Amino acid sequence: MQQKILILAANPKGTTPLRLDEEVREIDAGLKRALHRDQFFLEQKWAVRPRDIQRAMLDINPQIIHFSGHGTGDEGLVFEDETGSAKLVDGEALAGLFELFAEQIECVVLNGCYSEVQANAIAQHINYVIGMSKAIGDRAAIEFAVGFYDALGAGKPVEFAYKFGCAAIRLAGIPEQLTPTLKKKPLNGSKDQPQISGIYQDVLGREPTDSEGKYYVDLLEKGEKLNSIRDWITKTSSLLQDGNIISLECLGNLHTGFKFLDSRIKNNNVSLASNIDAHTKWKVHVINDEVVALENQGVINGSKWLDGITHNDSVNLAPNTEGGYTGTKWRINIIGDGEVALDNQGESRWLNGLTENGSVNLAPRIGNDHTGTRWKIFKH
């Protein structure tokens, strides 16, 4: 699925001139040359007024929002009014707007001075928000933005892209690499998080992943019982023991009758089959307490390991799990009774069976718009 990046730029009359055009031009150039360039669409809005933000949200439906301009700390970010003069918009106002689009927005970047205040407010509703803890120079702001979007364009997750952007500032010889700060959305109903963490520690000896924690806290808010959640986690983890032979059924597939993860290649990807046979059976190899590799049982000779490190978000088979085959490592996220989502550790994208042609690929995230990332486990 293509991700839309909305650039909101403002440099009102009477404020210090910024090199916003250079920043946006460099972001655009980096995305156009990126490995996953087809996955991103860049939309630019200039001399932005508050009303323009609202309209852009409705018209563009972005997954990533990038503000480029001035920030003033507690008073807000600097946009423009009808005359082109400065118009301050505080963090709570922006947070209230973005909350309405929380299901679609994955990340907000506030590339303006002292914008950490607004980042804290917005992060109450959005998964990832980047703000600046103090004043940031033009050059540092550009280096961070270019590094951040270069990493996203290479298929890296937001947290990696943030660190890459900070590293870019330092590599440029600018001592401002600590200015960008990353804020993550707290778990909804965080009072329930200790209970979920306790279950994971008791059953699996680890903390839940972010996706697992958010999923189960949301269920608790809706009235689900802790004992039921414990039973699901216990049951699902038992299905994924080292050496188990399993099949995976896609729960969101559009193609009736084709649902089991299959090693046979279709459209340069592994595919889905209607029935269980040797090619839909996978042997579990536990790498650590939350990461597995899956070995197909229908391939006698040649590549047989499920591999997510391929071009164009496709999923194929690798000959082994060593060396450069990092895409054969999949992090397990337990999200229901015998249900999982598989997070590829090479591309940090999710195994997805919901495609137009019946093949399997990688999706950028799990959620309401990526139902093909949910898989039911059957043990043989």
| Domain spans in the chain, listed from the N-terminal domain onward | 3-184, 240-379
Question: What pLDDT sits at residue 349?
Answer: 82
Distance CA 92, CA 127 (A): 16
Distance CA 371, CA 3 (A): 17
- Residue by residue, DSSP assigns 177-241 as TTSEEEEEPPPTTGGGHHHHHHHHHHHHSSPPPHHHHHHHHHHHHTT--HHHHHHHHHHHHHHT-
Name the residue among 248, 115, 135 with its Cα closest to residue 182.
115
Three-class DSSP category at 286: strand
Residue spans of the chain under pLDDT 50: 188-189
Q: Maximum Cα–Cα distance for the chain, whole Å?
A: 71
With beta carbons less than 8 A apart as the criterion, state whether 305 and 293 touch: yes
Q: Domain 240-379 falls in which CATH fold?
A: Trefoil (Acidic Fibroblast Growth Factor, subunit A) (2.80.10)
The burial class, CB within 10 Å (0-12 / 13-18 / 19+), for 222 is exposed
Give the pLDDT confidence of 261-317 residue by residue, as tens digits.
999 887 778 999 999 999 999 999 999 888 999 999 998 778 899 998 766 678 999
Query: What are the phi and psi torsion angles at 281 (to 5°)?
Result: -105, 135
User: Residue 202 has which token pair?
Assistant: 């008791």
pTM recorded for the entire structure: 0.63
Question: What pLDDT sits at residue 189?
Answer: 45
With beta carbons less than 8 A apart as the criterion, state whether 363 and 350 touch: yes
Give the pLDDT confidence of 229-269 residue by residue, as tens digits.
999 999 999 999 999 999 999 988 655 678 999 998 877 78
CATH class of 3-184: alpha beta
Question: What pLDDT sits at residue 9?
Answer: 97
- One-letter amino acid at 318 equals A
Contacts of 285 (CB under 8 A, 6+ apart): 242, 243, 292, 293, 294, 295, 321
The strand pair at 128-132 and 107-111 is best described as parallel
User: Residue 70 has which token pair?
Assistant: 């001035």
Per the DSSP assignment, residues forming a β-bridge with 4 are 41
